[in-house]
């Protein structure tokens, strides 16, 4: 069902020196599927992350934040399970997340505080920590630098295919590698980061700069997508800089920093867009651009109102140019002083609405032509400033309902 | 598909002295269906309304507000068409709405400013005002006080059945009658009033008191429902007090005012709940109560986050007690200082979550039992104050997608 999303080529996924990945079939929710991932990080790396703003943030998210704060950045491993989100689980959930870290630490010979835990799956059910503990030795035994494809498989839930990509950039005459994985595929309206995204680079980056990089990339990628408008309890996006390559970034004003920032942002966008292309039940990939706003926030508000409207999303699904629904969404987005008679609307190259009303030259068949495409761009021009925002979303289909009505069964 | 919504009994719909209703099949969008309604109001009545907050508010909404302001309350008729919303139609749309009023005024012998126009249907398409003009003589010829059932039929769009109800209350020893109609069934997250709701009473009520009454009733009824979270461009709720009964309300602190307020609010809730019960594709009727909030606004925020979540709504559709999705919605509702370890969640009488985590005594089969019902109440207890809010919503089914993917075809 994914929209124009080819499977990643395992051979094109570049190992990142200083990082190994191992996986296991731990039977956490279902038998015979990869559901446990361990990432081992060599000493000397820096790690930064952004996490969900959901007040019901999951136990592993809380433990991640504590370990990042207490370990002084000396993180040595990540552990990820699917099948259970360990969210809405109270004090026992926190204890389970810490037990998971302790088990990884014992196998790898580091402190529990140097392990970051991640969980994704059903909310409000106790984490089967015994199965995770039982599966960890196999995951650790399989640690290898070239396991990125299997790692992407190991974090899938309702995703129909693994999501992974690599990039490389020459900085100061030396090659820097970036490789990342992500997962969706529902409860996606990240509000700091997506469900799960992990990117590693072999550049050496000081902790404050790494934190700045991860926020910059998240805002332009995982924080600019929506599938169903539901912000997950477990969203986490982690950036690891192993420092194994002979390239050190020390200055945010340097060309080297900007090169790494551009490569990282591009890779993050690629991974975020993969989540949308594989959105639950998705048949269309929609790019929404809101231009000429008074500020970026109002552009994002309007973009998200369009992206979240069930009526807009079902019209895309039906290839029905019922485009008044987009105007309605613009109108209720919460921009209280919006002058609608300044608003223009385009669908790809087709000028649909002009000065807040139907463009007299607009022909239904032109809208119809664009709506039939699998990739559609919606462009809203507000005519009140110089700011803009771009978001990515998908349509709402029968299969979305089927997938989410059946998710636990 | 409507959830526990019997057809109104035409004999139980009480005429309101001073008001007549007439209808026609004007072929506005489809042939051979009632799509045009005229309400004639006898001189001496007072009329008040609340309207959509959507910035793209439709041409008829703009004209309604102007006429209510300029006519000094001396409104003599309402005219309603379905099949076309006359929204996103710019200056020609305003002209069409005014032409409609002028045509009604010519037939009834009043001024165009004394007519309020209403439209509902597809957005962004020109209003076929010629068909409305051609249909009006038949509508006027059929004006009668006992046409409430047919009036409810004449304003339906994707509604599967007409929505109408009556109430009567004895005030100062005299009987006061209230009768109203409403319509849904999608693009429903009213933000002042529902798509269309009209209530008339034969009490005599001064204009300022009538405006206070209509706001009070709207906030507790049409402004407390959601089907898909989309706020329409055309939402309008109108209250007519004909004054034909020998009961006059002059003081907001009087028992008489409070009796009328209670009767009106009850009738408004009935009509608003009918819209939810007939929500597009609805199979479940959900009552969401959020209690012990620090203020009403945060209770409504959390209630709407639950009501709008596609994941919560599909779980209801599937009768799947995947109740962590409700916690996730509470967490992202935007109440930034919410202490989730104070939050309790009940499904009917079943205590699901306690202090922010799964209630140790909660049994999946108890949740399952409630989820199978066609009427479900969700109760969230925030433990941080004394305020509360109640909202009504429905589930998200395959049929919602089908209806909205096919609406224009």
Domain ranges for chain B: 10-277, 285-406
Interface subset of B 374-393, CB within 8 angstroms of A: none
For residues A216 and A268, is the Cβ–Cβ distance under 8 A?
A: no
Does B405 contact A317 at a Cβ distance shorter than 8 Å?
Answer: yes
**Which residues of chain A make contact with B233, given a CB cutoff of 8 A?**
324, 327-328, 331
Short-list A95, A100, A129, CA closest to A116: A100
Predicted local distance difference test score (pLDDT) of residue B195: 66
Whether chain A has a CB inside 8 Å of the CB on B230: the answer is: yes
Predicted local distance difference test score (pLDDT) of residue A233: 80
Residue B349: how many other CB atoms lie within 10 Å: 9
Task: Tell me if A10-277 shares its fold with A285-406.
Answer: no
Residue numbers of A annotated as active site: 194
For residues A77 and A109, is the Cβ–Cβ distance under 8 A?
A: no
Higher pLDDT, B265 or A188: B265
The beta-carbon neighbor of A358 closest among B124, B311, B336 is B124
Query: Class of the A285-406 domain?
Result: alpha beta
Whether chain A has a CB inside 8 Å of the CB on B355: the answer is: yes
Alpha-carbon distance of B340 to B315, in angstroms, equals 22
Interface subset of A 69-128, CB within 8 angstroms of B: 85, 87-93, 122-126
Q: Which residue of B has its CA nearest to A315?
A: B405
Q: Report the DSSP beta bridge partners of residue B163.
A: B182
Does A324 contact B122 at a Cβ distance shorter than 8 Å?
Answer: yes
Predicted local distance difference test score (pLDDT) of residue B193: 46
Token pair 């209280």 is found at: A336
Question: Which region among A36-45, B30-39, B400-409 has the lowest average model confidence (pLDDT)?
Answer: B400-409
Predicted local distance difference test score (pLDDT) of residue A1: 63
Interface subset of A 178-207, CB within 8 angstroms of B: 186-187, 189, 191
CA atoms within 13 A on the CB side of A337: 5
What is the distance in angstroms between the Cα of A25 and the nearest Cα belonging to chain B?
24
The beta-carbon neighbor of A332 closest among B191, B356, B407 is B191
Q: Would you say residue A262 has pLDDT above 80? A: yes
**Which residues of chain A make contact with B367, given a CB cutoff of 8 A?**
none
Predicted local distance difference test score (pLDDT) of residue A112: 97
Predicted local distance difference test score (pLDDT) of residue A382: 97
Q: Report the DSSP beta bridge partners of residue A115.
A: A77
Q: Give φ, ψ of B354 to 5 degrees.
A: -140, 125
Q: Would you say residue B28 has pLDDT above 80? A: yes
Mutate to test the interface with B, among A121, A324, A333 (most CBs of B within 10 A): A324
Percent of chain A with pLDDT over 90: 70
Predicted local distance difference test score (pLDDT) of residue A224: 84
**Which residues of chain B make contact with A330, given a CB cutoff of 8 A?**
55-56
Q: Would you say residue B341 has pLDDT above 60? A: yes
Q: Would you say residue A192 has pLDDT above 50? A: no
Buried b (16+ CB within 10 A) or exposed e, A78-115: bbbbbbbbbbbbbebbbebbbbbbebbbebbebebbbb
Instruction: Find the largest Cα–Cα distance for chain A.
Output: 71
For residues B126 and B87, is the Cβ–Cβ distance under 8 A?
A: no
Section A44-67 average pLDDT? 91
**Which residues of chain B make contact with A332, given a CB cutoff of 8 A?**
53-56, 189, 191, 230-231
Q: What is the CA radius of gyration of chain B?
A: 22
Confidence grade of residue A287 (pLDDT, cut at 50, 70, 90):
very high
The phi-psi region of residue B194 (left if phi > 0; otherwise alpha if psi is between -120 and 50; otherwise beta) is beta
Q: Would you say residue A379 has pLDDT above 80? A: yes
Mutate to test the interface with B, among A94, A314, A361 (most CBs of B within 10 A): A314
Section A261-280 average pLDDT? 90
Q: Would you say residue A193 has pLDDT above 50? A: no
Does A310 contact B230 at a Cβ distance shorter than 8 Å?
Answer: yes
Task: Compute CA A217 distance to the chain's CA centroid, rounded to the nearest angstrom.
Answer: 11
CATH topology of domain A10-277: 3.60.70
**Which residues of chain A make contact with B308, given a CB cutoff of 8 A?**
229
Alpha-carbon distance of B153 to B138, in angstroms, equals 16
Q: Which residue of A has its CA nearest to B89?
A: A357
Predicted local distance difference test score (pLDDT) of residue B374: 95
Whether chain A has a CB inside 8 Å of the CB on B338: the answer is: yes
Q: Would you say residue B358 has pLDDT above 60? A: yes
Predicted local distance difference test score (pLDDT) of residue B409: 47
Relative to beta strand B285-293, strand B375-381 is parallel
Predicted local distance difference test score (pLDDT) of residue A194: 53
Token pair 């409609």 is found at: B100
Buried b (16+ CB within 10 A) or exposed e, A123-148: bbbebbbebbbebbeebbeebeeebb
Q: Would you say residue B147 has pLDDT above 80? A: yes
Confidence grade of residue A407 (pLDDT, cut at 50, 70, 90):
low
Question: Which region among A144-148, A346-350, B178-182 has the lowest average model confidence (pLDDT)?
Answer: B178-182
pTM equals 0.84
Predicted local distance difference test score (pLDDT) of residue B219: 87
For residues B225 and B276, is the Cβ–Cβ distance under 8 A?
A: yes
Section B206-235 average pLDDT? 85
Interface subset of A 287-326, CB within 8 angstroms of B: 308-311, 314-315, 317-318, 320, 322-325
Residue numbers of B annotated as active site: 194
Does A122 contact B324 at a Cβ distance shorter than 8 Å?
Answer: yes
Alpha-carbon distance of A408 to A159, in angstroms, equals 14
Question: Which region among A263-267, A367-371, B188-192 has the lowest average model confidence (pLDDT)?
Answer: B188-192
């Amino acid at each position: 069902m994914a929209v124009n999303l080819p499977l990643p080529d395992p051979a094109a996924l570049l190992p990142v020196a200083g990082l190994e990945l191992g996986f296991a079939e731990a039977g956490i929710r279902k038998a015979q599927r990869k559901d446990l991932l361990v990432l081992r990080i060599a000493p000397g790396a820096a790690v930064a992350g952004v996490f969900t703003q959901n007040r019901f943030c999951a136990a592993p998210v809380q433990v991640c934040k504590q370990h990042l704060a207490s370990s002084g950045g000396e993180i040595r491993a990540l552990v990820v399970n699917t099948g259970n989100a360990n969210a809405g689980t109270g004090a026992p959930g926190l204890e389970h997340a810490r037990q998971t870290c302790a088990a990884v630490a014992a196998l790898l010979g580091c402190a529990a505080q140097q392990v970051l835990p991640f969980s994704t799956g059903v909310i409000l059910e106790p984490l089967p920590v015994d199965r995770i503990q039982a599966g960890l030795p196999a995951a650790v035994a399989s640690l290898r630098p070239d396991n990125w494809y299997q790692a992407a498989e190991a974090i899938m839930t309702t995703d129909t295919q693994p999501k992974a990509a690599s990039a490389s950039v020459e900085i100061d005459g030396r090659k820097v590698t970036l490789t990342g994985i992500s997962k969706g595929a529902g409860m996606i309206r990240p509000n700091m980061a997506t469900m799960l995204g992990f990117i590693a680079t072999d550049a050496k980056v000081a902790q404050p700069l790494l934190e700045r990089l991860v926020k910059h990339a998240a805002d332009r990628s995982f924080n600019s997508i929506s599938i169903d408008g539901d912000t997950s309890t477990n969203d986490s996006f982690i950036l690891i800089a192993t420092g194994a390559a002979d390239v050190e970034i020390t200055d945010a004003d340097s060309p080297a920093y900007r090169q790494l920032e551009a490569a990282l942002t591009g890779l993050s966008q690629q991974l975020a867009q993969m989540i949308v292309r594989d959105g639950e039940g998705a048949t269309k990939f929609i790019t929404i651009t809101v231009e000429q706003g008074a500020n970026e926030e109002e552009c994002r508000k309007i973009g998200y109102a369009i992206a979240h409207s069930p009526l807009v999303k079902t019209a895309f699904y039906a290839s029905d140019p019922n485009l008044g629904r987009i105007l309605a969404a613009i109108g209720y987005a919460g921009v209280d002083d919006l002058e609608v008679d300044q608003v223009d609307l385009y669908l790809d190259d087709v000028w649909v609405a002009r000065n807040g009303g139907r463009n007299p030259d607009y022909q239904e068949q032109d809208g119809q032509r664009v709506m039939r495409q699998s990739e559609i761009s919606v462009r809203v021009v507000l005519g009140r400033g110089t700011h803009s925002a771009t978001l990515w979303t998908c349509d709402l289909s029968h299969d979305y309902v089927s997938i989410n009505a059946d998710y636990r069964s």
